[in-house]
Structure 1
């Protein structure tokens, strides 16, 4: 089977990371894969190492041109990610004439409330839809199959330090400041704990406080998963995550998670430990959970192993790839 995954992008964030993890896993299942779009510097080399060709696509026109060229390869289907990629693939449909699959990464109706909402809704009738979470599936108002993104195997276990970790974009919608306030209210700094914040964004400078040595803003890091394996607690502060891949990476590392009780968190960490979820924007509740979990090492160990077991059962990249192959085979029957 030949499958092309397509995104209109020259960047590297959650969607591109999903494709980068999924494509090699599909190749391991004897799927011939090609990838269009995403940051060439981050994607081309690791894909090539797995025998997967990568083609850049910064604009919708680039997507259409690269997709049209696929007809010489004779793909069995094309799998797009995000509406812009879908539009580019549809522009190439006179040359391709193959089924289209579209993954919905965000819990929202296409073009909601804008002049493009009705035309975008037509896309739902053209492509078979995949949602990355139940939260997304419930929000998009069109039938879809839910396939959770998979996470590759974690790094080896490390000795845990007295550290709480936040790893996310440092933009306002992620509410990182709530996590900082929760840590301060927990009193953990007085017990020798630190809060590490990995990521970059518009709020990075504002989060830095030289007067508080217990809170350290690390900026962009390439070793986030190692940081997770060394931390004792992972804190996810975003008021709503469409899925929340960082939480699943923490689960894979066996790191206990405290997260907001919304969106994808309800079906990841919430399925294992609903008692460690808190209402968005409530630093007092998050602080209490931090203090309780930090003060109970046996509970942290038990919770970490339960989260790791759930990751192995539901969120490996191999399971994600297997479910995609099943979907593809059903569509092509």
Structure 2
């Protein structure tokens, strides 16, 4: 597994240990765990602009923690008027819909003004039913959680999933994040007990923000190797061409345009792009229109197929049918699709960014290529398509890598260890900074 920055006792230097199960000296008692995921509900349909890997992560982590005997409550924003306050997700896990802002879908970049009310709700609920540990996901969840957790003296871990500094660096003027994002991310990192990063690249970014390495751990995202498996039904192929697949949110940074440009250099292949609005609304989506126009300009419109957002249950069949899965994002905080493809025994060609560099083992499980380079993407993909034996070897190696490093039960065990260690070794009380107190 990726090495993890494990915090020792109070104010001790960082220790670097291989990720493992929980310490046998820690108490085995079940915990009441509160997860906070303000925009990424574990109940959401994937593929929309704000529904992707974080939704998967929160749902799977909650389930794996419940499998370890814990009771998990996920707090997410109510985005429809008819949603019940509490919804069972599975045994040991329930979702609470928090009234914060209008009960309708809102872009996540517009949610910050509603985080004060979200945080007030958390404080009231947690005062009545205190959790043993709180774990927020994404920076605005951290904003909502920070004040309540500190006021109630609750152990508080945070996972960013994406960083404003990285987004701003890549998107520049196209970045629609609130201007306060980076400042708030720093406040959350300074105010929580532990920051749980998902890859080594993120640790470097956190250190550049000024966060203290002693309070940073690395635990990757995971995958369910039973749901995502080489065994099972596939999807019907339209033609006898090689099948390339890209799955994810349909936003420019995910690189679907790059996949289409690469396809123009691979004459014996077709591309399925899964993501975006569901089929009835798909043709009206601006990004779909842009990509269709690009495909037409490059002469590959007949070889590019858009499915719209897929129900989670249909994703494994598509991945295991693909000859190669493409993950050419401009930047990727972690990227869960490569793991899902590898679990299905399918080789991956991914951009050498972020979490891809931890998950894709080049050349054993696929290829890592320069981001933003359609020629490099096409060459690496064509090389795999030219050799069935190489694809089979990459697929088998990817499956082994997932089983040994990225199962959700291992992710939950490492996270459980952090929770318990955090509760037992609470560092000296750190009051909110004046800036954080004013914002909260």
TM-score by length of 2: 0.68
The SS at the match of 2:204 is helix
Q: How many residues align?
A: 329
Q: Which residue does 2:339 correspond to in 1? A: 248
Does residue 219 of structure 1 match 2:275? no
Does residue 206 of structure 1 match 2:247? no
Deviation per CA, 1:205-229, whole angstroms, max 9, x where unpaired? Answer: 2222576322111111122222001
CA shift at 1:83, angstroms? 2.2
Structure 2, unaligned stretches of length 5 or more? Answer: 1-30, 45-50, 101-113, 170-178, 277-284, 425-440
Higher helix share: 1
For the aligned residues, what is the CA RMSD?
Answer: 2.8
8 Å CA contact 1:187, 1:291 repeated in 2: no
CA shift at 1:274, angstroms? 7.8
Does residue 80 of structure 1 match 2:136? yes
CA shift at 1:319, angstroms? 0.9
8 Å CA contact 1:8, 1:63 repeated in 2: no
Does residue 268 of structure 1 match 2:365? no
Structure 1, unaligned stretches of length 5 or more? Answer: none
- Within a 5 Å distance, the mapping from 1:1-333 to structure 2 comes to 1-9=31-39, 12=44, 13=51, 14-37=53-76, 47-57=88-98, 58=100, 59-60=114-115, 61-93=117-149, 96-109=152-165, 117-118=182-183, 120-127=185-192, 128-141=194-207, 142=211, 143=213, 144-153=216-225, 154-155=228-229, 156-158=231-233, 162-188=242-268, 193-200=269-276, 202-208=286-292, 209=295, 212-222=301-311, 223-270=314-361, 273=364, 276-333=367-424
Higher mean alpha-carbon deviation, 178-187 vs 209-218, is at 209-218
Hey, what's the Cα distance between the residues in 2 that align with 1:183 and 1:43?
45
Deviation per CA, 1:34-87, whole angstroms, max 9, x where unpaired? Answer: 110157899999853223221113431124313431233231111111222222
Deviation per CA, 1:182-218, whole angstroms, max 9, x where unpaired? Answer: 1120222xxxx32111111642122225763221111
TM-score by length of 1: 0.89
8 Å CA contact 1:10, 1:40 repeated in 2: no
8 Å CA contact 2:87, 2:95 repeated in 1: no
The SS at the match of 1:270 is coil
8 Å CA contact 1:37, 1:56 repeated in 2: yes
